[in-house]
Amino acid sequence: MLAVGVKPIIILVETQLPENLGSVARVMANFGLSKLRLVKPQAQPLDPKAIALSVGAFDILDDVIITENFEEAVADLNYVFATTAYQRDMIKAYETPKTFVDLIKKPEFQEERFGIVFGPERTGLTNDYMARCHKAITIPVNPDFSSLNLAQAVSVIAYEWFQSQSSQALKACIQLGKTTLATQGQMNGFLNLLEKNLDQTNFWRVSTKKPIMWRNLQNLFTRLDLTQQDLKTLCGVVDALSKSLDKKPD
């Protein structure tokens, strides 16, 4: 499923919380990444809190490379992307996660080793670190609430990378025309009417079979994209059928 492209290396600078090391390792594993490097970490990768939050991505924490300076951490890489919550007063190309993924798909990147650098939780990367990176990636967020958790930032970029490497089949949507979908309240009204009336018949036959039969029936109606008019019609059908039942002699 994965294309031939090179996997990005995640580089965390001066990370403060062991929980974040664990969460980053977990989400890296979720999205098929495995190489983690730490520059001057304030938290230790084998801290019990890191291991607990990695939820099984222990190998990533165990294989981590720790360096005392940034230059050493990136010496073997051809290309280094900084991440930042905001654009600095510094000449630099800023990519979104989507344009980053488009960029690294280009032929000239197919053979390159590249890293993505994330700064400390409280401050992000200093301009000194930024100056040593080729380009920056900024995740577009709500400008009124732009402080993204470290593991969430890794998550979004790793997710985009993984998507770009996977072939995802697109699903078709059902055309509704000009009608309006029913609300779930209307759907519940219909389902309750249906259940009540079915209870009065021999529909379930064996009462132990009702839960699974009823779940299947609910699923059947719920996935039909029924409109408000559809539901009115169906309620009418159920009503009519039940009244005819009432009138039947025993």
Minimum distance, C-beta of residue 237 to its own copies, in the bound complex (Å): 21
Asked if 232 contacts 186 with a C-beta cutoff of 8 angstroms, the reply is no
Is 176 one of the binding residues for its own copies (CB under 8 A)?
yes
Nearer to its own copies, 132 or 243 (CB): 132
> Could you identify the residue written with the tokens 């993204």?
148
Out of 182, 194, 231, 234, which residue is the one contacting its own copies (CB under 8 A)?
A: 182
Nearer to its own copies, 72 or 239 (CB): 72
How many angstroms from the chain centroid is the CA of residue 134? Answer: 27
Number of residues binding to its own copies, judged by CB under 8 A: 81
Nearer to its own copies, 98 or 196 (CB): 98
Residues 117-156 that bind its own copies (CB under 8 A): 127-128, 130-135, 139-142, 145-149, 151-152, 155-156
Is 31 one of the binding residues for its own copies (CB under 8 A)?
yes
Residues 183-242 that bind its own copies (CB under 8 A): 183-185, 188, 215-216, 218-220, 222-223, 225
**Amino acid making up residue 118:** F
Crossing angle of helices 150-165 and 18-30, in 10° steps, is 10
Stretch that binds its own copies, among 23-31, 35-43, 198-206, 232-240 (CB under 8 A): 23-31
Is 168 one of the binding residues for its own copies (CB under 8 A)?
yes
Asked if 160 contacts 97 with a C-beta cutoff of 8 angstroms, the reply is yes
CA distances from 196 to 82, 192, 210, 232 (A): 61, 6, 12, 17
Helix intervals (H) in the chain = 18-30, 48-54, 58-62, 70-74, 97-104, 127-131, 150-165, 184-199, 210-222, 228-247
CA–CA dist 195, 15 (Å, integer): 56
CA–CA dist 134, 77 (Å, integer): 11
Nearer to its own copies, 91 or 246 (CB): 91
Tokens of 170: 């697109």
Nearer to its own copies, 205 or 215 (CB): 215
What x/- string results for residues 73 through 102 when contact with its own copies is judged by CB under 8 A? -xxxxxxx---------xxxxxxx-xx--x
Nearer to its own copies, 109 or 203 (CB): 109
